[in-house]
Structure 1
Amino acid sequence: MSILPDFPPGPLDFYRTKSSFDWKKMKIFLDTEDGVQFEKEISKKLQTHPEFQKDLTCEEMDEQRRISFRRHLYNIRSGILSENQFFENFARANVSSRLMLQLCPCAAFRFATGSLFTGVLRSQGGEQHQEILQQAENGDIIGSFCMTEVGHGSDIKGFRTTATYDKNTDEFVLHTPDFEAAKCWIGCMGQSASYAIVYAQLYVDGTHHGLHMFLVPIRNPKTLLTYPGVVATDMGEKIGVNGMDNGILILDKYRIPRGNLLNKSAHVTPDGKYVTAHKTRKEKNGAALGILSLGRSKTTLACETTAGKALTIAVRYAAVRKQFGCGKEEQPILEYQAHQYRLLPYLATAYTTRIFGMFLLETTYKFIWDVFMGGDKEYLNALGKEIHVISSASKPAVGWVLRDAIQECREACGGHGYLKAAGIGNIRNDNDCNMTFEGENHVIIQQTSNWLIKLWPEVEQGTEISTPLHSVDFLSKASEILKSRFKATTIDEVCTSDNIMAAYQWLVCYLLKETALKYHTLIQKEGEFWARNNTQVYYAKSLSIAFVQNFMLQRTLVTINQAPDVYTKAVLLKLFSLYGLWSLEKFLATLYEGGYAHGCQPSRLIHEAILKLCSDIKNDSVSLVDAIAPPDFALNSVLGASDGQVYKRLERELFRNPYNLSRPTWWREMINWNTDHSKNKL
């Protein structure tokens, strides 16, 4: 396949020649031929463009921001990144955003912030907002999205920023009552945003109408100085992603025109009449929060993209690094069972998340487009809820596992992995924000369990359950599923998709039954709020994780069965089984507790199957990371380059830095230490 060149020969050939599949066919299956060609074209541009030659992490924070802004602007105006492309050519948009996240996370996050701003304007705004939308899409202005407050994050009902309509002036008066109500952690607010979408509690003639979104001018686009009544301050240096200027916004009785209310769902007339298409505040808040499903879907895939970069480094290094052996010949550490178990289940997780995440993100974009085009409201309402609960579980569940994957990759590379030049430290720091933004994980995952618990009465009644994405259709047969038991008697049987899916469906049904029972028992004693709170650990959280893992497996299997190449399909099925069993292993106690498993055989078979799958995938692992790896210039690691020349690159890195070969500027302090100390000069 000429579209993808061969990797340079080197130490990694030892495993590449053993691969059971063609990595090029795998990459094309994942990204499409058009996507791969587009990635090749933009990689050539980025690799040679002057804006992308510096290592941001070696620069001062102000310079990091300048460079990341210039990269972001280049990406938009060159057509490398475009929000519209997600609607028009998802494959191209996916590979370009993926590459940018691997190459320059700061520029990628700037684009994501801008996409959130333009996405809200497009889906919730009106004709009067189109000029600002066009300017933002062209990169002429920078927009931000203001939701979280200092004192309230995921608890949106507690937001305290207000917008009061003044019909005497035909304006909204936006106000931050105190510091706890200040909008915070706003991307691009610290120094660069000219406009913001602000969530505020709307009041008209003393009546509270709940949360609404407003287009708010923040800075003069020509001077970047804030307007009177606006305080915008940077939040300072962070653990990572310092090329992004996160900030705080405080509004002091700040007036904006009535037309700046985003009026897709509701508007206020000049004489102060509130008009909405929604019947309840709950429905209205749901519409306002719909855009967050997109952010959570993107974060799910971003975790995989970042972890995939770390796994590329760790697996390639494991294939080259040799230690110990039973004879004179040392063995690559990838040959050792413990090392396979450390890395390969995470590689299986990355592949499963990659396939599922692309499905979820593409589905979410299609949903947004259908809403914009005015599709079937009843169907779209049901679909929107389902996307919301799936993304509210996938973001935490995937994030937690792949966060651990990155740390395991760092440790699996030993001392060399601790070097900045290895690249994993920056990956870990930049990924960490994915654990928090778009909703705190332990809070948003409750959205999923709450939805599932509400379905339980229907399940008990035997009602036919069907949702647009079919994530819970199997609950229609819950009574039969709960009677089923672990049937596999061999390792091969344990690894089949039928047995894995059967175990997961039982697990979800059992956890749903137990969680609903616990919740309804407590609600009579403690009330709804505390009953929900005291049902989280061991019940609701586990239910949400099992539910989303089951759906990930379900959707991944659909995609795998579409693979045109038999060898690609075969290795993907092994990854499916490894992810399924490795994830199921965390629920072994529950399988025994509920009676699905009995005796020692189920746990032994699952453990043995996981180790066998790791061993079976071992020879394919280098080619598997080859199919998802970024180009070497984006990987930027002395340990993980595609030529496998770890020690040559390590030597070059250590001796090219003048500081590494020099004595410190304060060397005289070292040699005069004893003398100075005796004279009490320190």
Structure 2
Amino acid sequence: MAPLGSRDALPGGMNPDLASERLAASFSVELLTASLDGGAERTRGRRAIVEAIESDPVFSQENQYFQSQNEKYEAAVRRAVYLQKKIRAMGWTQNGPEVQDICRCLSGDIALVLHRVFMRSISVLGSDKQIAKWIPLATDYQIIGSYAQTELGHGTYLQGLETTAVFDTATQEFILNTPKISAMKWWPGDMGRSATHTVVFAQLYVHGKCYGVHPFILQIRSLEDHSPRPGVTVGDIGPKMDFQHADNGFLLLQNVRVPRENMLSKFCEVQPDGTYVRWGSQKINYFTMTSVRISILSDEAIVPLMKACTIAIRYSAVRRQSKLKPGEQEAKILDYQTQQQKLLPQLATAYAFHFINTYLHELFNKGYQDIQAKNFDSLPELHAFSSGFKALITQHCTSGVEICLRACGGHGYSLLSGLPSLYTRIIASCIYEGENTVLLLQTARFLIKCFMAASAGQRVPPSVTYLSSVKSGKCPAKDKSDFLRPEIYLKAYEQMAVRLVSSSAAKLQHLIQSGVDKHDAWNQCTVQLEKAAKAHCHYITVKNFVEAVENLDNKAGIQKIMKHLCDLFALHGIFSNVGDFLYDGHLTAAHMDLVTASYLDLLAVIRKDAVPLVDAFDFTDKSLSSALGSYDGQVYQRLYEWAQKSPTNQQGNPAYDKYLKPLLQNTLSKL
């Protein structure tokens, strides 16, 4: 069965170069799609939602590449408001899998996304009474929420936030202020023009004592006329690299009062007399960010990489250029090994991250249940995982989308290819919800603590028990086929991660013992610590991919092709980081020759299934919005068709009469 997108074919029909790729598939595309979705029933449900969304003209993205910032914002709000009616009319659930399917279908070009983060903050951090009051209002959109944490002067370092909330016992209110320009809230989505309320994070002061950062529910606009509330200055921060549809905002507060009941108080509260009471870890106030980091990975990083792979691989199967052999027709660029080396590792990465994303959600759901029961034991590991994997996945996906764009040559640079908008959007994911270097160092801090604990014989979380493993000798591989054995390459990844963590810990300890201040010592180790955190996350990703493949059904060739992708992902990681793997002698130069040979062999094997593998992602043509990546492969016709829709081709040339005509006439008169 062909994906939904095949219905959007041009009159020219299916490009024969793509048709031949699909006929040669070694596995069932439909069964792989169902496997990725979590079952055939989920696939049917997702496709029904996609059909309902894409058949509705309100959600049309036909002219998205020709819209101004205001037009994009207005369209995003219109879609968001209409979507709520659609959800009710279709009987979809607000918190079920339908929401994920809708987000994937609409590609993020929808407003009021932070409203869900606003609700999640209240659900996680609010008391039962606060949840009962605010969640129904937010669910029915009687209020529109945002999430105000980042400031002009502080982002990832939450302890440095400068917004203040001072408790006034006389009035039972908190007085909120942004005392200087760097304290101004800056970047919150949906705040610039849309939100009526926000969860604002501020330093809590009671009787002159600071108790750290806490969240407060704050009304910023009137529910009557949408004007800013007294003491509130709010607006849009202006154009960005992308996200033109999103009204990222700024917020200044001058003696804005909120009632005592508006401090989210599931885990802590200020009592009427000013007594501060806490239940559990103060780090629970950062749990919303942990939740958001994990929730954004699929839609904001992994899906864009999947789309980029789909576009670039389909295009590479129909784009012919130069000749591999004299006398033959020009070759498909996907037949060149250099093109395979660009694109196929990105494809393997997309699949690897699909499986690690599933793992992270399972870990988060278990941790969330524990926290709801006021068991905070899993919080450090959960924080480390959400930080490290948010950094690893967004960095790799951003790099992968850029590689896909450049692999499409000049046409990849056209907005009509769909690749520039994927790239300019995904690159932001390396910055928001925590800057990646800072996040990796937070993961590294967790790893160092665990390594020291493991070295002392203490219990550590299951994910890091490998840190206590005894260093092994040389890798036993003798032939290139040995590097297709997961136990061989997993040991290499484990060895590298252990070495990087242990050497960082040893350097840190040595500096401190030699009299260097511990904070200075940490700063002197951060380059190695960042590398150690990446190595840990990379190892866990490979390990998880191996386990996921082992658990797949072997019918219809799915497990076999996934094993090839898993091997490619693992060997590409070694091939691309030779120095780190050679460093401790576990692998030798001779081993690297075997790795290279095995890796290059895999490129040729996976190339045969490249188009079916991206077809299995099951993106419609409307979702891809790409003239290069459509299911029918009619690239050149579609590029020309779409270019004709540009407003510049529908109107006169204002520069002609003003500048070109006088220039031409002057030149001609001189001649």
TM-score by length of 1: 0.91
- What is residue 158 of structure 1 aligned with on the other side? 160
Instruction: Give the superposition deviation at 1:405.
Output: 1.2
Question: Pick from 47, 54, 57: which aligns with 1:47?
Answer: 54
Partner of 1:432: 427
Instruction: Give the 3-state SS of the residue equivalent to 1:396 in structure 2.
Output: helix
Per the alignment, residue 102 of structure 2 pairs with: 96
In the other structure, the counterpart of 1:572 is 562
CA 1:247–1:106 in 2, change beyond 3 Å: closer, same or farther? same
Tell me how far apart the structure 1 counterparts of residues 333 and 558 of structure 2 sit (CA, whole Å): 26
* 1:128 to partner: Cα distance: 3.3
Partner of 1:605: 594
Cross-structure match for 2:116: 115
For 1:406 and 1:329, how far apart are their aligned partners in 2? 30
Given that 2:5 and 2:619 are in contact with CA atoms closer than 8 Å, whether structure 1 keeps it comes out as no
Match of 1:394 among 382, 389, 397: 389
Report deviation, 1:460: 2.5
Q: Residue deviations 1:369-406, cap 9 Å, x none?
A: 4533x26x1xxx23222121112111111211211111
The 2-side partners of 1:230 and 1:579 are apart by 51
- The number of residue pairs the alignment matches comes to 654
The answer to which of 437-446 and 321-330 deviates more is: 321-330
CA deviation map 1:183-233 (0-9, x unaligned): 111111111111111111111111211111111111112311110011112
**Percent identity, aligned pairs only?**
28
Q: Is the 8 A contact 2:163 2:183 kept in 1?
A: yes
Q: State the match for 1:648 in structure 2.
A: 637
Give the structure 1 partner of residue 15 of structure 2: 10
In structure 2, what is the equivalent of residue 78 of structure 1?
86
2:328 counterpart of 1:328: yes
What SS does the corresponding residue of 2:109 show, helix, strand or coil?
helix
How far off is 1:571 after superposition?
Answer: 0.8
Match of 2:449 among 450, 454, 459: 454
CA contact (8 A) 1:182 1:249 kept: yes
Structure 2: stretches of 5+ with no match in the other structure = none
Using the TM superposition, give the Cα deviation of residue 528 of structure 1 relative to its aligned residue in structure 2, in angstroms: 1.8
Q: Deviations over 1:485-535 (max 9, x none)?
A: 222122221122111111111111111111101111223443122211221
Partner of 2:305: 307
Q: Deviations over 1:117-143 (max 9, x none)?
A: 101101111213433222222333211
Q: 2:233 is paired with a residue of what secondary structure?
A: strand
TM-superposed CA distance for 1:663, in Å, is 6.6
Pairing of 1:227-626 with structure 2 (within 5 A): 227-278=229-280, 283-284=281-282, 286-301=283-298, 302-325=300-323, 326=325, 327-372=327-372, 374=373, 377=375, 381-461=376-456, 463=457, 465-467=459-461, 470-476=462-468, 478-479=469-470, 482-523=471-512, 524-537=514-527, 539-566=528-555, 567-598=557-588, 600-626=589-615
Secondary structure of residue in 2 paired with 1:526: coil
Q: Distance in 2 between matches of 1:661 and 1:123?
A: 52
Could you say if the C-alpha distance between residues 222 and 557 of structure 1 is closer, same or farther in structure 2, counting changes exceeding 3 Å?
farther
For residues 5 and 131 of structure 2, the distance between their equivalents in structure 1, rounded to whole angstroms, comes to 46
State the 1:4 CA deviation: 7.3
Does structure 2 retain, via aligned residues, the 8 Å contact 1:508–1:546? Answer: yes
1:322 match: secondary structure: coil
For residues 381 and 84 of structure 2, the distance between their equivalents in structure 1, rounded to whole angstroms, comes to 32
2:109 to 101, 106, 119: 106
Question: Could you tell me which residue of structure 2 aligns to residue 135 of structure 1?
Answer: 137
Distance 1:398 1:22 in 2: 28
User: What is the alpha-carbon distance in structure 2 between the residues aligned to residue 239 and residue 339 of structure 1?
Assistant: 28
Residue 126 of structure 2 corresponds to 125
Secondary structure of the residue aligned to 1:331 is coil
Q: Give the C-alpha shift of residue 647 in structure 1.
A: 2.2
Whether the 8 Å CA contact 1:77–1:138 is kept in 2: the answer is: no
Q: Which amino acid is the alignment partner of residue 39 of structure 1? A: R
Counterpart selection for 1:59 from 46, 64, 67: 67
Deviations 1:616-668 (A, max 9, x none): 10011101111114211111111100011112222323445574487733324
> 1:447, 1:174 → 2: CA distance?
29
* Equivalent residue, structure 2, for 1:199: 201
Instruction: Give the aligned CA root-mean-square deviation in angstroms.
Output: 2.5
Equivalent-residue separation in structure 1 for 2:236 and 2:246 (angstroms): 10
State the one-letter code of the partner of 2:344.
L
In structure 2, relative to structure 1, the CA distance for the partners of 1:134 and 1:5 (3 Å cut) is: same
Partner letter of residue 356 of structure 2? F
- Listed as ranges, the gaps of 5+ residues in structure 1 are none
Q: CA deviation at 1:409?
A: 1.2
Report the secondary structure of 2:176's partner residue. Answer: strand
| Cα pair 1:194 1:217 within 8 Å, conserved | yes
> How far has the Cα of 1:343 moved from its partner?
0.4
Report the CA distance between 1:238 and its aligned residue.
0.7
